[in-house]
Amino acid sequence: MCVTETELFHGAVLAKIMRGKPDALRLVERDSVERAVYLVEGLPGTPEPSSFYVKYSCTPQRRRDGSAVWAFTFSAAHLRQIREAQERGRTFLTLVCGNRNIKDKHLAMELAVVWPDEIDMVLDTASIEGASIRVEKGAGRRRLRVHGRASEPLLVKKARMEQLVGTA
């Protein structure tokens, strides 16, 4: 059986999480929506379970200056799934900024992790029409810029996942 694109890009997130040696990790499945929420228990310094909503984009728009931009589109069903995860507890929005050519030395893949208290800055999870956000990787920058509903982009350190799981 072949590995799907979703499994490949979600696997990048799961590998980072597992390096933090959590007590448990499980997929929160729904029949009508893509499988995108993972529940993690026992992360270092985190007594309560955490949900990770994972979304990927593998078609970056490259710019002449060496920067790249990934677009992420969320349907109303996706937003509802995020909202339901938030209602269950602490939820992280994890955006995989991928590349179909994983060996491309000029555009390494990145993870943009949006903290629970920042999700509303980039997404209106109550929207019934869906939403979109962009992640920008500037040439030589240490932070990613997440452009969403706020007028100013959210600056996200590239090593947030490692910080979160205690491997930084």
Using one digit for the tens of pLDDT, what is the confidence trace for 103-159?
A: 776 677 899 999 999 999 999 999 999 999 999 998 888 899 999 988 899 999 988
SS3 161: helix
The mean pLDDT value for 22-48 works out to 77
Whether pLDDT at 30 is above 70: no
Q: Would you tell me how many other CB atoms lie within 10 Å of the CB of residue 137?
A: 24
- Tell me if 79 sits within 8 A of 73, measured CB to CB: no
More confident residue, 122 or 29: 122
Q: What is the model's pLDDT at position 106? A: 67
Bridge-based pairing of strands 91-97 and 68-74 is: unpaired
Q: How far is CA 160 from CA 13, 95, 99, 110, in A?
A: 12, 12, 20, 11
21 vs 46 pLDDT, higher one:
21
pLDDT in tens, 49-108: 899 999 999 999 989 988 899 999 999 999 999 999 999 999 999 999 988 777 776 677
0.85 exceeded by pTM: yes
Confidence at residue 101, expressed as pLDDT on a 0 to 100 scale: 79
- Top pLDDT among 140 and 12 is at 12
Sheet holding 61-62, edge to edge: 61-62, 68-74, 131-137, 143-147, 154-157
Cα(63)–Cα(145) distance, rounded to whole angstroms?
15
Higher pLDDT, 57 or 33: 57
Half-sphere exposure at residue 118, Cβ-oriented, CA atoms within 13 angstroms? 16
Say whether pLDDT at 32 is over 80: no
